[in-house]
Structure 1
Amino acid sequence: MAGFLVIVIEAPCCCLFIDFVQNISDWVEKRPYWNRAAFYVAIALPAVILCPGLSSIFGSGLIFTTGVIYGMMSLGRKASPEEMRTNAAVFTSPSQSSVPSTNMQSSLVNNAQPFSFTGPPGFDSNV
């Protein structure tokens, strides 16, 4: 059943003999990626739970992987190196004190301390 749903959503041309398949595919295409990711992960799990055989794990694993890929697509593209450097420079401005905060609202990034085992790294990561 899960495999049929994936084919209906991803490749409606394989099911042209069923009249409502194109409508379902068009409706799903309008949804955001995270909806598809959650749907694929949700339909992949019951088969593995109910029948943990090799074929069920492989088939549901492929559907689960498709859900993970859609989840990664919903996060968006990685920022450019220049944008990451400017964002890192904003968070490490000299106006912040070097003493870690004990406030419950403080974040781990603000409390991060530099460390080194044998010396500075061979490259500058600008972090």
Structure 2
Amino acid sequence: MPDLESNQKPEQGGANDVTWGFKILGRIIGTLAAAAMIILGLMTMIGFSGSCLLAGILMMAFGGLVIMIEAPIFCQYFQWAEMVTQFVDNRPYFLRAGLYLILSVIPFALCQSVSSFLGCGAMFVAGTFYGVIAVGKKGDAVKAATAAHGGAGYQPQVNNDDSTLR
């Protein structure tokens, strides 16, 4: 019987240690952040300055891009949208986190209003969540200290002296 798992390429650039729950939660957070960015981008466009108009347009465009990445079912009639989604899905999570953080900073730098703060803030939270996923699980402190000190015979120092408590 052939080994089926050896023929499959790794997802997310080798990030197989991410649970399916975090993957789905990341998609949900990204989709909600993109929807918020689109809606609040429309509200940002109502401002009286040209920079707020440009920021609102960028927020709506960036929100559409993130919707296409996170929830391709909404863009199923665009054949090129599937290629973009597959391209981003085959990359590590830290690149997606960086993309979302950059996409959230640009419109807010143009127009500092409440609606742009909320919309860009939602996208910033999604980027931060993907950044946390990219970092991964926290390691064991004793194993890290053992590796840092050469590994052989390392014992963590524990203060059991009760005189320091008085």
TM bin, normalised by shorter chain, reads: 0.5 to 0.7
TM-score between the two structures when normalised by the length of structure 1 = 0.65
Alignment partner of 2:111 out of 45, 51, 73: 51
Evaluate the alpha carbon distance shift between residue 46 and residue 90 of structure 1 in structure 2; reply closer, same or farther with a 3 A threshold. Answer: closer
Amino acid at match of 1:119: T
Give 3-state SS (helix, strand or coil) of 1:119's partner. Answer: helix
Question: For residue 135 of structure 2, what is the aligned residue in structure 1?
Answer: 75
What percent identity do the matched residue pairs reach? 31
After the TM superposition, list the runs of 4 or more consecutive aligned residues in structure 1 that deviate by more than 4 angstroms: 89-92
Q: How many pairs were matched up? A: 95
1:86 aligns with 2:146: no
If each structure's helix is expressed as a fraction of its own residues, which one has the higher value? 2
1:11 aligns with 2:71: yes
In structure 1, stretches of 5+ residues that fail to align are: 95-113, 121-127
In structure 2, stretches of 5+ residues that fail to align are: 1-60
**Structure with greater contact order relative to length (CA < 8 Å, sep ≥ 6):** 2
Amino acid at match of 1:8: M
Return the alpha-carbon distance in structure 2 between the equivalents of residues 28 and 89 of structure 1.
37
- Please, what is the CA RMSD of the aligned residues? 2.2
Superposed CA offset, 1:48-94 (max 9, x none): 11111111111111111111111111111112xxx422333565747
1:61 aligns with 2:106: no
Q: Highest CA radius of gyration, 1 or 2?
A: 1
